[in-house]
């Protein structure tokens, strides 16, 4: 092969950025490609002398095996992909952290694809990822409206294994979620235990599964206590931001002036609600208790510090990747996956001063 020597000679010219190949190394070391391959893959059947000689050539040429070629042969890319929305929000970004950690742990590289809106078309993203032969996909776009109806239309078994995040469990698909309904229930039960009876809610955008679940949790907790989930206790939001916390709080105080607690569907909403409560002179928590959802780092420093619901989103990401890995292994060995492939985690109540008066430092009182 005449190309060989010429390439080898070029390698150290600064204008040549073609990476060295197995052939280059083999020629420089005066052995066959298979021998080099043995060294690279740490196989034992090789004499120490040649191993050293080959290693020297590898170092000299700064040789790196081409994973693309390897993947072709092995029919394995060792890559996963996550398709996500909103990584500039706390929750989604935490989930990605968990996904990346576990993927790395299991030896996968991770492709990241983002959509601007949960309802954006994702066909092209999917096409590209399939063409790249990713071995599995984590679907981290929140379920909004019917943006997952394609699961039925498009036959999932023509895709690589997929794990869905944050949705209702369904037969035949793998889902990893936080139990949002339970989280909301915990929040409202906590308020009930404190003796509150007029408990309002500022919802998230109700087309979102998470928002509607939290709403349902609020309703169920009130029902348990024999209280009515009257419409005058509800303020709806178009998104999760603090703006709707402000609007929602104003609306609630107008609709139900005697309200004594509010469950805000996100910490950001809670922040907006707190601001309005202060402006309108309602003391928190004495006259009005407020609970949020997310446990963002800032929430502990709100004024007063916010009682909220902690979601184990890093865990969700990690479990999603483990699940995906299991599905991949199962499909490869043509066996059925062994275990239950959907997981639902119960979030945890974090009690702070926005609901529990005792938690307020003395100097924190206003009066």
How far, in Å, are 58, 128, 225, 249, 274 from residue 302 at the CA level?
57, 43, 29, 16, 9
Residue 85 C-beta: closest distance to DNA, Å: 30
Residue 211 C-beta: closest distance to its own copies, Å: 18
How far, in Å, are 177, 197, 342, 361 from residue 171 at the CA level?
15, 39, 9, 50
Residue 88 C-beta: closest distance to its own copies, Å: 5
Query: From CA 255, how far away is CA 170, in angstroms rounded?
Result: 38
Task: Work out whether 185 is an interface residue with DNA (CB under 7 A).
Answer: no
CA neighbor of 344 nearest in space, from 209, 169, 145, 206 = 169
Binding partner of residue 77 among its own copies, DNA, none, CB cut-off 5 to 8 Å per kind: its own copies
DSSP 315: H
Residue 19 C-beta: closest distance to DNA, Å: 7
For residue 289 the two structure tokens come to: 């208790």
Task: Work out whether 40 is an interface residue with DNA (CB under 7 A).
Answer: yes
Nearer to DNA, 40 or 114 (CB): 40
For residue 151 the two structure tokens come to: 């699961």
Binding partner of residue 11 among its own copies, DNA, none, CB cut-off 5 to 8 Å per kind: none
Binding partner of residue 32 among its own copies, DNA, none, CB cut-off 5 to 8 Å per kind: DNA
Taking a C-beta distance cutoff of 8 angstroms, is the pair 308, 323 a contact? no
For residue 28 the two structure tokens come to: 């420089």
Nearer to DNA, 68 or 361 (CB): 68
For residue 62 the two structure tokens come to: 């700064």
Nearer to its own copies, 63 or 164 (CB): 63
Q: How many residues sit in the footprint of DNA (CB under 7 A)?
A: 32
Q: Where along the sequence are the contacts to its own copies (CB under 8 A)?
A: 14-15, 17-19, 62, 64-69, 71-72, 75, 77, 82, 87-88, 90, 93-94, 96-97, 100-101, 104, 109-114, 127-133, 157-158, 241-242, 245-246, 268, 271-272, 274-275, 278-281, 297-298, 300-301, 303, 331, 334, 361, 363-364, 366
Query: From CA 275, how far away is CA 243, in angstroms rounded?
Result: 10
Q: How many residues does the chain have?
A: 367
Nearer to its own copies, 90 or 209 (CB): 90
Task: Work out whether 116 is an interface residue with DNA (CB under 7 A).
Answer: no
Nearer to its own copies, 182 or 268 (CB): 268
Taking a C-beta distance cutoff of 8 angstroms, is the pair 165, 316 a contact? yes
Residues 61-80 that bind DNA (CB under 7 A): 63-66, 69-70, 72-75
Task: Work out whether 60 is an interface residue with DNA (CB under 7 A).
Answer: no
Binding partner of residue 166 among its own copies, DNA, none, CB cut-off 5 to 8 Å per kind: none
Residue 70 C-beta: closest distance to its own copies, Å: 9
Residues of the shown chain interacting with DNA in the complex, contacts defined by CB under 7 A: 3, 18, 21-23, 30-35, 37-38, 40-41, 44-47, 49-51, 63-66, 69-70, 72-75
């Amino acid at each position: 092969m005449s190309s060989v020597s010429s390439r080898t000679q070029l390698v150290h010219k600064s204008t040549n950025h073609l990476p060295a190949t197995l052939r280059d190394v083999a020629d420089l070391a005066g052995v066959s490609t298979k021998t080099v391959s043995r060294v690279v893959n740490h196989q034992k059947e090789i004499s120490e002398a040649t191993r050293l000689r080959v290693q020297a050539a590898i170092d000299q040429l700064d040789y790196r095996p081409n994973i693309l070629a390897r993947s072709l042969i092995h029919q394995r890319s060792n890559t996963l992909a996550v398709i996500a929305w909103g990584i500039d929000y706390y929750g989604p970004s935490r989930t990605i952290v968990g996904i990346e950690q576990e993927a790395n742990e299991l030896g996968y590289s991770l492709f990241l694809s983002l959509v601007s809106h949960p309802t954006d078309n994702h066909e092209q993203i999917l096409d590209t990822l399939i063409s790249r032969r990713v071995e599995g996909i984590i679907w981290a776009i929140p379920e909004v409206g019917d943006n997952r109806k394609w699961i039925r239309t498009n036959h999932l078994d023509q895709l690589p294994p997929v794990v869905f995040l944050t949705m209702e469990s369904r037969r035949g698909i793998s889902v990893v979620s936080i139990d949002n309904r339970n989280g909301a229930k915990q929040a409202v039960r906590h308020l009930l235990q404190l003796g509150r009876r007029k408990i309002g809610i500022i919802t998230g955008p109700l087309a979102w599964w998470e928002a509607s679940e939290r709403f349902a949790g609020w309703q169920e907790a009130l029902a348990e206590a024999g209280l009515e989930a009257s419409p005058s206790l509800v303020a709806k939001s178009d998104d999760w931001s603090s703006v709707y916390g402000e609007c929602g709080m104003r609306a609630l105080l107008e609709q139900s002036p005697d309200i004594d607690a509010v469950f805000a569907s996100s910490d950001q909403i809670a922040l907006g609600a707190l601001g309005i409560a202060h402006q309108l002179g309602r003391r928190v928590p004495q006259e009005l208790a407020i609970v949020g959802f997310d446990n963002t780092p800032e929430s502990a420093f709100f004024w007063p510090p916010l009682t909220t619901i902690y979601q184990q989103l890093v865990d969700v990401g990690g479990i999603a990747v483990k699940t995906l890995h299991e599905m991949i292994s199962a499909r490869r060995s043509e066996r059925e996956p062994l275990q239950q492939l959907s997981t639902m985690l119960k979030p945890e109540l974090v009690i702070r001063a926005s609901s529990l008066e005792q938690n307020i430092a003395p100097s924190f009182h206003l009066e």
